[in-house]
Amino acid sequence: MLRHVTGAAVAAWGLSGLGWLGLAAWSSLGDAGIGPICRASGGALDDVLRPELLLGTTLMMLAMMGPLTAGPMHHLWHRSLARHRLRAIGLFWLTYIALWSLTGMLFALAAANASRIGNAALLALTLLIALAWQFLPAKATALRRCHLRPPLAVFGTRALLDPPWFALRLTAWCVASCWAVMVAAVAAQNATPGLVPMLIASAIIAWEQLWRTPLRSDAAAWARWSMWPRGLDSAQHVGWWKWLRQRAAGWSASLQNFFPCLFSGYPSKAKKSSPFS
Partner 1 sequence: MPRTRRDVWKLGGDWNDTILWYARAVKVMSARPFSDMTSWRYLAAMHGVAEQLWRSNGYMKPGESLPDAVAFRREDRDQCQHHTWYFLPWHRGYLRAFERIVAAAIVQLGGPVDWALPYWNYNDESNPNRLDLPPAFGSQTWPDGGTNPLFVVARYGSTGQSGGPITLDPRSVSLDDAFLEDSFVGTQIGGSPGFGGGRTPFKHSGRGDEGLLEQSPHDNVHGDIGGARDNDFMDPSKIGLMSNPSTAGLDPIFWLHHSNIDRLWESWLRAAGHVNPTGDSAWMNGPARNRPFVMPEADNSTRTTFFAREMLDTTGPKLDYIYEDITNPFAARERVAERLEGLGIARAALEAVEPAAERDMARKPQVELLGANAQGVRLSGPEAAATVPLDQTTSRKVLESFRSGLESTTPREPDRVFLNLENIKASSDAASFSVYVGLKPDEKPEDHPENLAGVVTLFGVAEATSPENPHGDNGLNKVIEITDAIDRLHLAGVQELNQIPVRFVLRRGRASDIQIGRISVYRQGK
Q: Site residues (CB under 8 A) for partner 1?
A: 1, 4, 74, 78-83, 141, 144-145, 147-156, 158, 211-220, 223, 234, 237-239, 242, 245-246, 249, 253, 256-257, 263, 266-272, 274-277
Closest CB to partner 1 among residues 38, 76: 76
CB 219 → partner 1: shortest distance, Å? 6
Closest CB to partner 1 among residues 51, 156: 156
| Other beta carbons within 10 Å of 217 | 13
Give the SS3 label for residue 259.
coil
How far, in Å, CA of 149 to CA of 235, rounded? 36
Closest CB to partner 1 among residues 39, 75: 75
CB 228 → partner 1: shortest distance, Å? 14
Closest CB to partner 1 among residues 79, 87: 79
Closest CB to partner 1 among residues 32, 207: 207
CB 174 → partner 1: shortest distance, Å? 15
CA-nearest of 20, 3, 26, 37 to 203 is: 20
- How close are the terminal C-alpha atoms of the chain, in Å? 22
Closest CB to partner 1 among residues 154, 196: 154
CA-nearest of 144, 8, 132 to 80 is: 8
Residue pair 207/260 in contact by the 8 Å Cβ criterion:
no
CB 102 → partner 1: shortest distance, Å? 26
CB 153 → partner 1: shortest distance, Å? 5
User: What φ, ψ does residue 236 adopt, rounded to 5°?
Assistant: -70, -25
Residue pair 191/39 in contact by the 8 Å Cβ criterion:
no
CB 132 → partner 1: shortest distance, Å? 21
Provide CB contacts within 8 A for 92, sequence distance 6+.
Answer: 69, 72, 73, 76, 163, 164, 166, 167
CA-nearest of 222, 247, 251 to 234 is: 247
